[in-house]
Amino acid sequence: MTLAEAFADIEHLPTRERLLIGGLENGQTVWCSGHIDDLDRLDALGYSPGVAGGISEAIEDFRIGDADMAVVVVNTTDNVQIILALGPDSPSAVAQAFQELIRHHAH
């Protein structure tokens, strides 16, 4: 699923309850979406349940914080990267936040 398709699935939810999960596979990002409480969506990407702990922590940090949106990259023990977009208001906001994250870590 593309980022735009995944966002369309959650657009009806209140912004702070939106969750997008992107898995980097063979140079492509495969997206799924759901409610911020819906960690079962990881199964759609085929990742191990052990990844859910790091994701749960990132979601909890977002919930108790003041940020309108957060983009987090979680690295698994298998060297797989998962992108979390918490509270996105548009696909372009996710793309911009991810680019900022890349620029921030490049320095």
Residue 28 has pLDDT above 80, yes or no: yes
Lowest mean pLDDT across 15-19, 37-41, 55-59, 81-85: 37-41
Alpha carbons 25 and 5: distance in angstroms, whole number = 18
pTM of the model as a whole: 0.79
Strand partners, 34: 19
Statement: residue 41 has pLDDT above 70: no
What are the extents of the domains in the chain?
3-106
What was the pLDDT predicted at 61?
A: 82
State how far the Cα of 82 lies from the Cα of 65, in Å rounded to an integer.
Answer: 21
